[in-house]
Amino acid sequence: MARARQFDREAALDLAMNEFWRKGYCAVSVKPLCEQMGITRSSFYHSFGSLDALFEEVMSLYLSYNPMLELDDQNLTAAQAIRRCFKVLCKLRAKDKQHRGCLIINNLNESYAMPPKTAKSLQAKIDNSISALEASVERAKSEGLISPTQNSRALALCLQSLATGINTLSMQVHNEKELWEIADTTLSGLGV
């Protein structure tokens, strides 16, 4: 008797991540995903629970590669960590041969069509990014690298806006050097 083919959950998550990244939340549905994964709908629901639960798992997988993780490097000054974060972001976006931008930012535009819990989870990912940037600004202030009178929240929002812009613009501008010049010019102008 032939043995059933093993379901490769990691490969399925990677496939789903690329579908959500390429097509967006609204254009992804269970039936085509099941066909691409080579599983039945019942196996899909048994493995992932729902399309929204899968999307949540996909976001977590995607964020495991997040350049914002660079902000936690205590071997660098806060300003160096912020700059490295943006350098890594520019490199990642330039390396993406499909020019997809950012999965989180791309899908944020579709949060209106998501169930409220899923939309809030997606929005929380952006809030976490802003909080991480704000903590880095605070650290830069304590290191004397940024004026203590600087509004930390406003600067963090400017940095998030820069990240969002690079993620979006990278769909059109594919050159790492050009993306970094945008980031470097903005960071220098903000005093980082």
**What's 28's domain CATH number?**
1.10.10.60
Residue 2's pLDDT band, with cuts at 50, 70 and 90, is very low
Residue 69's pLDDT band, with cuts at 50, 70 and 90, is confident
Residue type, 190: L
Taking CA atoms, 172 is separated from 11, 13, 65, 97, 192, in Å, by 28, 27, 22, 11, 26
Taking CA atoms, 153 is separated from 19, 77, 87, 119, 127, in Å, by 34, 19, 22, 23, 11
Domain contains 108: yes
Same domain for 71 and 52: no
Residue 4 has pLDDT above 60, yes or no: no
Same domain for 139 and 172: yes
Same domain for 167 and 152: yes
Structure tokens at 123: 């929005």
pLDDT of residue 5: 52
pLDDT of residue 62: 92
Give the mean model confidence (pLDDT) for residues 85-105. Answer: 94
| Cβ-based neighbours of 86, under 8 Å, separated by 6 or more | 67, 162, 163, 166, 180, 183, 184, 187
Same domain for 161 and 86: yes
% of residues, the chain, pLDDT over 90: 84
| Cβ-based neighbours of 24, under 8 Å, separated by 6 or more | 106, 107, 109, 110
Give the mean model confidence (pLDDT) for residues 56-78. Answer: 87
Domain contains 3: no
Domain contains 4: no
**Of the listed ranges 5-19, 21-35, 120-134, 136-150, the one predicted with least confidence:** 5-19
Structure tokens at 26: 């609204």
Map tokens 């501008």 to a residue: 173
Domain contains 176: yes
Q: Give the count of domains, the chain.
A: 2
pLDDT of residue 3: 43
Same domain for 89 and 55: no
Same domain for 83 and 42: no
Query: pTM, whole model, 2 decimals?
Result: 0.88
pLDDT of residue 162: 97
Domain contains 1: no
Same domain for 119 and 141: yes
Residue 27 has pLDDT above 90, yes or no: yes
Map tokens 């605070």 to a residue: 138
pLDDT of residue 78: 93
Same domain for 174 and 84: yes
Range of the domain at 14: 9-60
Same domain for 105 and 118: yes
| Cβ-based neighbours of 102, under 8 Å, separated by 6 or more | 93, 164, 167, 168
Same domain for 134 and 69: yes
Same domain for 51 and 141: no
Domain contains 2: no
**Mean of the per-residue pLDDT values of the chain:** 91
Q: In degrees rounded to 5, what are phi and psi of residue 190?
A: -85, -5
Domain contains 151: yes
Same domain for 78 and 172: yes
| Cβ-based neighbours of 83, under 8 Å, separated by 6 or more | 184, 187, 192
